[in-house]
Amino acid sequence: MPAQVPVLIASYLEPAHVSRIAAVDPRVSILYDPALVPAPQYVCDHTGTPPSLSEADQARWETWLGQAEVSFDFDWQSPELLPKRAPRLRWVQATSAGIGALVRRAGLDGSGLVMTTAAGIHAVPLAEFAVTGALYFIKGVPHLLSRQRAHDWERYTTAQLAGRVVTVVGLGGIGRRVVATFAGLGTHVIGVGRPGSSYDVPGAGEIVSDLDAVLARTDVLVLCCPLTPETAGLVGRSQLDLLPAGAIVVNLSRGRVVDESAMIATLRAGHLGGACLDVFEEEPLPATSPLWDMDNVLVSPHSASTVAGENAALTELFCENLRRYLDGEPLRNLYRRELGY
């Protein structure tokens, strides 16, 4: 291991978190200037507003790319040029759990870069959001809001989540937390994993690999799987039709896992009880999308995973992986090209 390991911070981090990374080991040399990375639009934003760099600042950024051996996040300018612009780069720690689409789009799956994901960092907030989405419709929040706006005091009979069947697709860090959270609320949880894989998922009443086989008894369908060639379009019209009337779909995965047009048609027909969506086929969701104005849809702007403590958790993960890297130990959350996550 060389005397100094240049570590590039490629997206915004608060000074205290940068200091934590610098303190991991005397060999760490930090390359970071918040003026050279996108400015966050909200707390823990890792996309942000790209800066307009002067010629001197652009040259400094490119110099740092050329020096970096490790990077916290991908190059915000041209991730597809990382192998060329960062020839010394060996490892990138991503700030997202789902990086497969970015890796494929940038052609990095054919590079020699080691990449690690943020898998598990967002599990708790996403599980909470999934429960929020299910309860939003099961407890009749849209009805309550309409009655409240009308100043209408009319007693009614509500429903309950406990005793229902919740099917969770994808049993990674997020899916496992979703399973445990729903199981703790008295539901019967079915976990859907990859064919040929074995799983030990606390809280799961069943583990299956055939999604279609369990849809007819699924009251709440929660999608947590990564977007891969195998999962693109996983839930289409035939799968939506298999769900019982009044079923709820919660998508924490990626928009393209669901056929959005088919889902809209099924919602309009009244077959689905509701859809709680954090992700969409096109983002930002176009203003012309009918999803915005449907009473049986809850729209979240791909923000369900982002909580105020995210950067602290990401920094903790990165620091642990950085220690492992410096000591030649296996890294956590290694991205597996053959699986796409």
105 is catalytic: no
Name the percent of the chain in helix, strand, coil, to the closest 5: 35, 15, 50
> What's the DSSP call for residue 255?
G
Catalytic residue among 17, 122, 176, 254: 254
- Residue 31, C-beta contacts closer than 8 angstroms, at least 6 positions apart: 6, 7, 8, 9, 64, 67, 68
User: In Å, what is the CA distance from 306 to each residue of 153, 174, 309?
Assistant: 36, 13, 8
β-bridge mates for residue 235, sequence order: 258
Burial class (CB in 10 A: 0-12, 13-18, 19+), 35: exposed
Q: Which residues pair with 9 in a beta bridge?
A: 72
Give the amino acid at 182: F
302 given a catalytic annotation? yes
Q: Of the residues 105, 283, 323, 336, which is catalytic? A: 283
Judge contact between 76 and 38, C-beta under 8 A: yes
Q: Does the annotation count 230 as an active-site position? A: no
d(CA 258, CA 305): 19
Give first-to-last CA distance, the chain, whole Å: 28
DSSP state of 81: G
Catalytic residue annotation: 254, 283, 302
